[in-house]
Structure 1
């Protein structure tokens, strides 16, 4: 059986073509043209007898050492995805997870106006315009500039007082310290639902230094509490290193081309994970700020599923996220898995990834600041 399964894995590598399917996606079982669902092979006992007879199931994609197959949908029910993690009964739930549960319950009680088509839209360089209220945690970080405000970084609302961003977005050699935050907008000229705040505290991660790309994560504390509504709502945090859920989405108001103009409308772009070893080969030699190379424990590499697309200048500090929940009124709750950190000549080359600070590595530090 082990030999057969090994050959199945080998066949998978030979035949694999990158797909936009993800865990839980609907798929088509080609042998009988019926609907199936992408699940781990060990969660689909229906395919095991066939494997023993050298009849291999249709594959959705490969995740690490796990094969995700198109499992025939018998009865229309599947087990929820599980992660084998050690359980320590004496450990209390993470504060971030408890807060997220509260956010999700609140979301399900929201009564908002639903879009006419009733569709959840998940359709930056290569990106598309975000819909109104689609990313209610999305924030902008601003710097004073001779009486004006330069909005040059992004961020994610975590609570009524704190916004998550990149550590390098807390201060600028040109403009000094970040001093403003605004949210509740999709277009930069929107005023109707705008909430704007002064920053009273900038908190870089203690291990961050401007001479390196590592630990590029920070928080800003606002001068007063945010008023939550359908336009402004906090996001959850990815507390486990294993990424689960739907497609990765990066958002920002950054340049729409390399050295181009900043977008006036919030952009969204679907990304996929990029192999960390290949990512390391691309960046390590060319960057003096990566003396230890790309570190998979504190960084995530992701690239666009399109021909050309990437986070760009002005997207720094913004979220790499997955949708966690959507209510019947099309209101969204997201989980932040990464913070946009740096890239390489955005949009000038195909399949060049961006690098994001891995949020799950910093949960304890974030909890201590935001929910002490």
Structure 2
């Protein structure tokens, strides 16, 4: 599993190379989700806990006599705040079900974080819809690194049918940020971010999703959504947003399916990838779905119809799986550094 720097608190003071420690990712024992190594003076949460419990904090090291603590404060805004501002309990638009049949139409407000990316092509001035994405803040779209190299020009949100103009928001792309270790055509670090020119209007049809910050996923199925083709050899985009439930495929089985495929010499990496679908499934993610989310229900309050994004659709051999998705957990710190730098 992905290795984090965690040092148990000690009484004696030991000098360390603090430049390598401060700002690095750690796992607070209290939350079991990514935190940051910070000076104690910079972590209000730990200072407050010390006052209440007098318990030695979990440390990453020391700067002189100052402890560097594993600070659990989440840097991404609480996604539930977006739901509370949209009267979502009254306007969910769908009934929560535990399993979705393959290839069903998505409800009108079922996936309000879904975005579609438009590209200008030589034979069309109107743009071509080629990739999906997920709204994760009022001004950022999470997508695949492979979706950025065609230079998407604008994003569309608020619709499930491409011909629907009600509640539709189209916003010009201002900046494209691929992961610094992503190389075009390479299946590793296939993740990117789009910043649009202005914040979206938050409502029941357009609302950011939550980011899932744990490695372990507490369910055996995920939900994939996209406007991609339903036939592998076709490049066209579906007019309607579709949803499909996919099994999480165990790492070894997925790796065996791809070990002979050229271009992935390192194989499937469990820290970086999540595999879903599986051979024999009639439906799965396909062409045009890349960059879109795989997600699970936000269990804290299912009546809010929120979703936690656990991965980004990356690539596959066929449309009936298994599909390979970029595991979000591995990239949380990078995403937060780009999207919420003011909270560092």
TM-score (norm 2): 0.73
Q: Secondary structure of 2:240's match?
A: coil
Partner of 2:133: 155
Partner of 2:319: 346
Counterpart CA distance in 1 for 2:84 and 2:219 is 19
CA contact (8 A) 1:182 1:195 kept: yes
Partner of 1:366: 335
Q: Secondary structure of 1:111's match?
A: coil
Q: 1:314 deviation in Å?
A: 0.2
Partner of 1:319: 293
Q: 2:246 aligns with which of 258, 264, 271?
A: 271
Which digits, 9 at most, give the CA deviation of each residue in 1:170-214, with x for residues without a partner?
023xxxx11111100011111110011111111000000014210
Which digits, 9 at most, give the CA deviation of each residue in 1:129-171, with x for residues without a partner?
0001000100011101231110110000011110000000002
Report matched runs for 1:123-272 at 5 Å: 123=99, 126-145=102-121, 146-172=124-150, 177-245=151-219, 247-260=221-234, 261-272=236-247
Partner of 2:277: 303
Q: 1:239 deviation in Å?
A: 1.2
Counterpart CA distance in 2 for 1:218 and 1:160 is 16
Partner of 2:58: 88
Q: Give ranges in structure 2 of 5+ residues lacking alignment.
A: 1-29, 35-56, 60-68
Q: 1:276 deviation in Å?
A: 1.1
Change (3 A) 1:327 1:299: closer
Q: How many residues align?
A: 278
Counterpart CA distance in 2 for 1:116 and 1:301 is 29
Partner of 1:52: none
Counterpart CA distance in 1 for 2:137 and 2:115 is 12
Counterpart CA distance in 1 for 2:228 and 2:290 is 8
Counterpart CA distance in 1 for 2:172 and 2:33 is 41
Q: 1:271 deviation in Å?
A: 1.0
Q: 1:326 deviation in Å?
A: 8.2
Change (3 A) 1:195 1:331: farther
Change (3 A) 1:306 1:127: farther
Counterpart CA distance in 2 for 1:204 and 1:117 is 34
Change (3 A) 1:92 1:303: same
Q: 1:307 deviation in Å?
A: 3.5
CA contact (8 A) 1:342 1:354 kept: yes
Change (3 A) 1:191 1:284: same
RMSD: 2.8
TM-score (norm 1): 0.68
Change (3 A) 1:233 1:292: same
Which digits, 9 at most, give the CA deviation of each residue in 1:24-66, with x for residues without a partner?
xxxxxxxxxxxxxxxxxxxxxxxxxxxxxxxxxxxxxxxxxxx
